[in-house]
Amino acid sequence: MDFIARQCWSLVTMDITYLRTSLTFLFLPLVVFGAPADEPNLTEPGPGACKRCCDSLDSSSDTPPVPPSHHHFPYPVPEVRPYINITILKGEKGDRGEPGMPGKWGKEGPRGERGAQGQKGSKGQMGAAGDPCKHQYAAFSVGRKKALHSSEGFQVLIFDTVFVNLYSHFDMFNGKFYCSVGGLYYFSLNVHTWNFKETYMHIMRNEEEAVILYAQPSDRSIMQSQSLMLELQENDEIWVRLYKRERENAIYSDDVDVYITFSGYLVKPSIE
């Protein structure tokens, strides 16, 4: 019985040993090739380290080591970018290029201050001869023999006597002088006042009053006059009117003598 028991125990022991050996070979790959490390060591293994038998003996000298990939690093790897200082590579100055197209005009700036007066220039050449039909003279002198009482607010003074009417520039029907030669003119008006009546008159330039001739009512009649110089343009009109206000306005004359005169003449034309 003891022999049989020893044989049975020996078989049990062999089975357990065989089972352990099988389990050791089963779990050994899991230990060696288990969970991978965080970062594989791609550098040359140190002395005494394990090396695969399939690797060549001088692989370190033939094949360069594989650079580590930044995807496996737990921290960002800075990117290296080369920088070239262009100023040290600056070449010589090139030729000047062709002028470009002109740009748009800018906005007009403010007007500048007036400059100093320049020197007087030299006398110019004589111009061409003028129109021989153009008269460079003008003169008139007319009078009135009849007295006049103003019956309207404004009344044109009409003359009935001609002393001078050069080139008929004075219209006797309308009582107006029409300027046909522009320039500097002299005019004079002479009237005789009426006793106890006001004398109020204007020498007119077109439709504007140039000067006034006025005399207050008095028990004596007197001669009143007015004169002036005007620079006229072509087609200007010169005439005389009476201006009636609250009091009666009148000028005296008779059928024998001339008490009222109106005269004018060209002193200097604008273009000689």
The tens digit of pLDDT for each residue in 59-94 reads 445 555 555 554 555 667 777 777 767 666 677 888
Domains of the chain in sequence order: 139-269 (2.60.120.40)
Residues 6 or more apart in contact with residue 130 via CB below 8 angstroms: 136, 271
pLDDT score of 74: 65
Once rounded to an integer, what is the mean pLDDT over residues 17-45? 51
pLDDT score of 255: 82
Taking the C-alpha atoms of residue 180 and residue 138, their distance in angstroms, rounded to an integer, is: 8
Taking the C-alpha atoms of residue 189 and residue 201, their distance in angstroms, rounded to an integer, is: 10
Place 151 in a pLDDT band, splitting at 50, 70 and 90.
confident
